[in-house]
Amino acid sequence: MDGVLLIDKPAGMSSHDVVAAVRRALGGVRTGHAGTLDPFATGLLLVLVGRATKAQSVFMGLPKRYHTVARLGAVSSTGDTEGQITITGRVPADPPRLPTGEVRQRPPTHSAIKLGGERAYRRARRGEQLVMPERVVTVHRFEQLWREAPAGPGGEPPAGARAADAREHAAVAGELPRAAFAIECGSGTYVRSLIADLGDGYCLELRRTAIGPFDVRDAIAPPPPRTAGGAAAAASAGGPPWAEPPLIALADALARVGPAGRARAGEPGDERARAARRQ
């Protein structure tokens, strides 16, 4: 069994938890993934099975697409709802300046990057003051999809707001406005940092919708928790039979990536042929 599973990761579950659940469901076969999603985030996780784990760098290097909803006018110590929230009242201009191309950013302190051999988030949770190293990432697309108009004193839309906008995206009285963004970026980009750098904002929701040619609409839920009635629970919920999950064969997955994707990941162009021969 060698190939790629498209998993729609739910909130509250780590990428490691998903991989471990798949490994158990498939009887202990070697598994890995191609790009971490924090427990807060949802969406597409590529789980690599068998010999597909040896092609991890091919899939890791693919561009990724995200949809995020941000709260504006406040900051979070973690860049999301799980941190300490501080209201600043500073709301980005509308439309905001959304950087694309090569962008310098500092990852959040609550991230999985290793500092001194230890995950940054573990050190941050102990109260350590961390200075995260800057990195250069690539942002292909950064677009504001909609933004709520701030509510007036009585909860009504502000004067001058277009009627359609006021009906569809008006902030609740007493709450800071929200905005939604679509982002396509290269490997290693932190969406939470992109939102925080707008000055000011933090992520309310974060969902990965695609990785290269793979779309979350084709993904399945991870295996159910390991319990005595786990198989029965999956069947009653209409979930996939994990004895035969919808695995994309390694050669087919590499064919979808194509030469451009393999080149972006720094892999030789004949990787697909070698994988096919091994099968």
| 201, 72 contact by CB (below 8 A) | yes
38 is a catalytic site residue = yes
Q: How far is 25 from 241, CA to CA, in rounded Å?
A: 10
* Side-chain half-sphere exposure of 18, counting CA atoms within 13 A: 31
Catalytic-role residue among 2, 8, 17, 38: 38
Q: Concatenate the DSSP letters of all residues of the chain into one string.
A: --EEEEEEEPTT--HHHHHHHHHHHTTS--EEESS---TT-EEEEEEEEGGGGGGHHHHHTS-EEEEEEEEESEEESSSBTTS-EEE------SS-----EEEEE---SSSS-EETTEEHHHHHHTT----PPPEEEEEEEEEEEEEPBPP-TTSPPPTT--HHHHHHSBPPTTS--EEEEEEEE-TT--HHHHHHTTSSEEEEEEEEEEETTEEGGG-BPPPPP--TTHHHHHHHTT---TTS--PEEHHHHHHHHHHHHHHHTT--TTHHHHHHHH-
Which residues are the active-site residues? Answer: 38
